[in-house]
Structure 1
Amino acid sequence: MTKIRSTTVLAVKHNGSISIGADGQATMGNTVAKSNVKKIRKLQDGKIVTGFAGSTADAFTLLERFDEKLGAYGGNMKRAAIELAKDWRMDRYLRKLESMLIVADKDDILILSGTGDVLEPDNGIAAIGSGSMYAQAAAQALVKHGKDLNSKEIVEESLNIAADICIYTNHNLIIEQIS
């Protein structure tokens, strides 16, 4: 069976706010399977926003586990992320999941991977998925030269640039800003 995959998710911390966005494309092999997938989710009454890349079913499993960890650790995003990463590495079922997450609150952005990594980007920019490097490069340039832009504007423009270049990224964007 051909896997459904491909996306671009980008989070940017700039000028006092954090925004996270994603395109809406999912592909099956060489074909667009769906063009308006919602890959951004709010947790903890909107205090934490997540974005996922990879297998959709796997991502939802991880999002549910992450939400459980948030509840168990009083909404502490970093602690919940570390505990999820531990489980992800050690649990046979979770190890087989093919997905990555970006999680963000008002202060921090983290990337969670299936290898047990919890990465906090040095430059306030995190990207995952097929078009991630295009979006990240655009965001780095916009952060450096767009001092008057806010994080949401940078995410939107960067994802649009990625969509112009990457065949696995489209212009159906969902963006959430955390002030």
Structure 2
Amino acid sequence: MKHDEQLLIRSTTVLGVIRDGKAALGSDGQMTLGNTVLKHSTRKTRRLYHGQIIAGFAGATADAVTLLDRFEEKLEAFSGRLERAAVELARDWRTDKYLRRLEAMLAIVTAEKALIISGTGDVIEPEDGIVAIGSGSMYALAAARSLLAHTTLSAREIVHESLKIAADICIYTNDHIVIEEV
């Protein structure tokens, strides 16, 4: 393993689900540096725009917080119009010399919409109302899709159970789960 790979910060599974007019977004709490767990209870979610929007992040924490701050500014500038704010943030992220160096992803939910915003300029609205980012995202996504299709669990319950499954599989995900709802 190269020295750079050993120092790569890997952490986070963030999952958001919309069901029956309600949304939940949650994350685990693990932060890892190389093969060492640095912290078990990192908070990776944040309420935005008067509590109507929940955002979660994966990637470098300082970069993600910077992006969340910028996204919140865009939400205010565009009166809470989620898609417009997301597209403007993605555009700035790709074109601004400072922002384009930031390494993070954002998962965002409201009661009606779920989006993923990436540093490559992508604004993705999944068809099934499920967003997942981070190291254990594909495990959580698979679990959430199955639970959404085959159970009557609430959005919050689906997020919780799916993150628990991801924590059992992904070494960069733990079971210190924090969930927000709108």
TM-score normalised by structure 1 residue count: 0.96
Q: Which residue identity is paired with 1:65?
A: R
Q: Which residue identity is paired with 1:122?
A: E
Q: Which residue of 2 aligns with 1:53?
A: 58
- Partner residue of 1:42 out of 44, 47, 62: 47
2:129 and 2:75 map into 1 onto residues whose CA distance is 22
* Partner SS for 1:106: coil
1:12 and 1:100 map into 2 onto residues whose CA distance is 17
Q: Which residue of 2 aligns with 1:70?
A: 75
Q: Which residue identity is paired with 1:175?
A: I
**2:179 paired with 1:156:** no
Q: Which residue of 2 aligns with 1:91?
A: 96
Identity %: 59
Shift of 1:3: 3.6
- Post-superposition CA distance 1:79-125 (Å, at most 9, x none): 10000000001011111111000111121010000000000001111
Q: Which residue identity is paired with 1:104?
A: V
Shift of 1:63: 0.4
2:85 and 2:125 map into 1 onto residues whose CA distance is 14
Q: Is the 8 A contact 2:144 2:162 kept in 1?
A: yes
Structure 1's unaligned 5+ residue stretches are none
- Post-superposition CA distance 1:39-65 (Å, at most 9, x none): 000011211110000000000010010
| Equivalences, count | 177
* Partner SS for 1:92: coil
1:3 and 1:130 map into 2 onto residues whose CA distance is 12
Q: Which residue identity is paired with 1:110?
A: L
TM-score normalised by structure 2 residue count: 0.95
Shift of 1:163: 0.2
**2:35 paired with 1:19:** no
Structure 2's unaligned 5+ residue stretches are none
1:137 and 1:53 map into 2 onto residues whose CA distance is 18
Shift of 1:154: 0.2
